[in-house]
Amino acid sequence: MVFSSMTFLLLFLPITLLLYSLRSNIKWKNGVLLAASLLFYAWGEPVYILLMLLSVGVNYVCALRIDQSRSKPHLRRLWLIVGVVASTVFLVWFKYAAFLVNSAAGIFSLPFHMAEKKLPIGISFYTFQVLTYTVDVYRKKARVQKNPAWLLLYVSCFPQLIAGPIVQYSDVEGMLLERPFHPVRFSEGARRFVVGLAKKVVLANLCGAAVSLLDPADASLQMSVTGAWYSALMYTMQIYFDFSAYSDMAIGLGRILGFDYKENFNYPYISGSISEFWRRWHISLGSFFRDYVYIPLGGSRKSARRTALNMMIVWSLTGMWHGASWNFILWGMYYGLLMLFERFVIGRKRMENIPYAVRLPVVFLLTVFGWVIFYHTDLTMAARQLMAMIGIGVSEGGMTVLPFINPLTLAVIRKYSFIPLVAAVACLPILPAVKNRLPQNGFTQAASYVLATGLLLISLVFLVGQSFNPFIYFRF
């Protein structure tokens, strides 16, 4: 089940909210939310719910043992290792085993092949979340949760279960025991959810449809320079609106239910540096790798060489987290190298002295190139598109000079002519700036409700007529 489906919008969510609001008792609310979350996850893949239950169960026991072994550091460390290994082994088996085995077989010319496993939805997200609980208990950053049902609720809570944001246990520990549920929060959360829904079904899906018509991986399509750039730019918009929309909907639903989830996106395409981009893009993932990988490795406290190594380890893992394919590893290393270049070659002070008007387009173009690598699991296709963007066509017959534009590209641009303009406005902080300048009175409040209702109706109309409605980050 996905948020942008009629089943969720017209059946699952209304029934869940009705039952949730029947009683003010926190145990009742947690019970309803837990049952709804397990149903939500089991809707499409009921067998994989056992995997999540096992992961939570093992870490529940390990955290209890860690808490009971306060005077025995070696035992505490042992139980931490058991919890971390027990969780990551599931992720490695389903997501990376086939990739690692087949890559090794290819490198050493071994005559065997391992079939890829079907990836349980959301396993990367809930694995990281349950790990934050065990590690936070070990660090004495959070108290051990004695009630296994509440721990399971933290991991399985349906607003952020299958595509984030990654919620650290210490951030919601208190909310599991007490949280508000009243009309003002409901209204704010509902409007945030509707904005995310509109971003997804209108902008992300239309951008994705344009990308599919100019897919460079389709060898039957005649490429052009404009087509290669248009496809790359539309995917740049698609992945932002797709993922940030899900985060908006998750944050909105969380607010309705009384949870305050941290922001996961902050207009990343206005960044003036690569490091700033990653402070604005998928913030929860960056926070996880910083707190649970980079800092434990030593962070920036060691020598420049060690710092560089730590950064490359983190960025390689960031790439691998997104998928078991060489293009994701290359994409992660690409950003790692860019971050090293900014830090050790340009330097922070020199970077700040470069005019923002120069830095902005450079960073954006580097980001677009990165998304081309990210998009193509076949590195040959990634190279083909990157070469096409500079006017060179690559095929079995050799290299050719591509036309600037062709009839197919022109037809796609005409069909989706308004999308780039709307997407450009929506990915910039223009609307929040306008909102902040408006007086906060009854009229603007009423206008916000009218606008949210209009966006909801438009989204429903698009949902009825669309067959293209994927969530990109579900595969991660």
Residue 430 to residues 58, 281, 450, Cα–Cα distance (Å):
47, 18, 20
Q: Cα 209 vs. chain centroid, distance in angstroms? A: 20
Q: Cα 436 vs. chain centroid, distance in angstroms? A: 28
User: Length of the chain in residues, anyone?
Assistant: 476
Question: What is the C-alpha separation between 132 and 288, in angstroms, rounded?
Answer: 8
| Residue 106 burial class via C-beta count within 10 angstroms: exposed 0-12, middle 13-18, buried 19 and up | exposed
**SS3 of 75, please?**
helix
Strands 398-401 and 392-395: antiparallel
Residue/partner pairs of 18-23 with CB below 8 Å, 24 or more apart: 20/181, 20/257, 21/181
Q: Which one is catalytic: 74, 182, 322, 376?
A: 322
Phi/psi for 276 (5° steps) reads: -65, -40
**SS3 of 95, please?**
helix
Do 277 and 338 meet the contact criterion of CB atoms below 8 Å apart? no
Do 246 and 200 meet the contact criterion of CB atoms below 8 Å apart? yes
Q: Cα 17 vs. chain centroid, distance in angstroms? A: 25
Q: Is 74 assigned a catalytic role? A: no
Do 338 and 369 meet the contact criterion of CB atoms below 8 Å apart? no
Do 112 and 152 meet the contact criterion of CB atoms below 8 Å apart? no
Question: What is the C-alpha separation between 449 and 316, in angstroms, rounded?
Answer: 44
Question: What is the C-alpha separation between 44 and 121, in angstroms, rounded?
Answer: 9
Q: Cα 378 vs. chain centroid, distance in angstroms? A: 21
Question: What is the C-alpha separation between 445 and 385, in angstroms, rounded?
Answer: 47
How many other C-beta atoms lie within 10 A of the C-beta of residue 160? 30
Question: What is the C-alpha separation between 162 and 123, in angstroms, rounded?
Answer: 7
Residue type, 244: S
- 233-252: string of b/e by CB count within 10 Å (b at 16+)? bbbbbbbbbbbbbbbbbbbb
The catalytic site residues sit at 322
